């Protein structure tokens, strides 16, 4: 087993620990007075957390020079999508009772649901095109343009979280600040002039 495989194994184990703890607490009836809301809030936070960790890989790689970090970006991004799926499934099944009309009515009455839905839908093509085969099929530049949707997903996710919270906005502000720093780094890195090596005199 290579170091990369071992590290990916650690990511899998640690990424699934929160879900295992949630499942255990659910079985034990320890999710509070509103277990569905607690489960939704927790899986939503996990989705945003993995999304921001995924976005942090490139800045960390460029700043630290640890190019091997890029090998873990895909799995981290897929866990963001995984927890997004759990979050949405919980909402549709346990909160809306698999009712299409009830879901549409809820989206109309509570706009933050629409922001969350759009954010999730934007994650779908990112997950489906995350394989090496899809990178080759789309071509590097087209693949990169498509995967810039992750920035929009992050913004919509933070707005979704912000609109849910009624009074204590500490965590939405925290997530928003981290996202702003990550996006700001990308904008700065792209805008700064490239250093062109001087030609030696003949």
- What are the pLDDT digits (tens) for 34-74? 999 999 999 999 999 999 999 999 999 988 998 999 999 99
Q: What is the pLDDT of residues 183-201, one digit of tens each?
A: 999 888 888 766 555 554 4
Does the pLDDT of residue 202 top 50, yes or no?
no
- Write down the H helix ranges in the chain: 3-27, 35-64, 73-90, 100-109, 111-128, 132-138, 140-146, 149-164, 170-191
User: Would you say residue 167 has pLDDT above 80?
Assistant: no
> What's the rounded Cα separation, in Å, for the pair 60 and 71?
13
Choose among 20, 31, 140, 150: nearest CA to 86: 20
Q: In 3D, which of 72, 44, 70 has the Cα closest to residue 59?
A: 70
Which pLDDT belongs to residue 114? 93
pLDDT at site 197: 52
Nearest CA-CA partner of 160 in 172, 177, 151? 172
pLDDT (tens digit, 9 = 90+) per residue, 94-120?
Answer: 988 889 898 999 888 899 999 999 999
């Amino acid at each position: 087993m290579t170091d990369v495989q071992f590290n990916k194994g650690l990511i899998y184990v640690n990424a699934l620990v929160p879900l295992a703890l949630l499942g255990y607490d659910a079985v034990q009836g320890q999710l509070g007075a509103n277990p569905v809301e607690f489960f939704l809030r927790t899986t939503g936070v996990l989705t945003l957390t993995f999304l921001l960790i995924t976005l942090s890989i490139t800045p960390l790689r460029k700043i630290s020079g640890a190019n091997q970090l890029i090998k873990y970006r895909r799995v981290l991004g897929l866990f963001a999508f995984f927890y997004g799926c759990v979050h949405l499934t919980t909402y549709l099944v346990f909160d809306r009772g698999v009712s299409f009309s009830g879901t549409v009515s809820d989206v109309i009455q509570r706009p933050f649901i629409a922001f969350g839905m759009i954010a999730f839908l934007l994650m779908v093509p990112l997950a489906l095109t995350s394989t090496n085969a899809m990178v080759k099929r789309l071509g590097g530049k087209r693949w990169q343009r498509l995967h810039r949707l992750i920035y929009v997903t992050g913004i919509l996710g933070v707005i979704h979280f912000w609109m849910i919270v009624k009074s204590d906005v500490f965590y939405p502000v925290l997530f928003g600040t981290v996202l702003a720093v990550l996006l700001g780094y990308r904008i700065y890195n792209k805008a700064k002039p490239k250093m062109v090596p001087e030609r030696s005199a003949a």
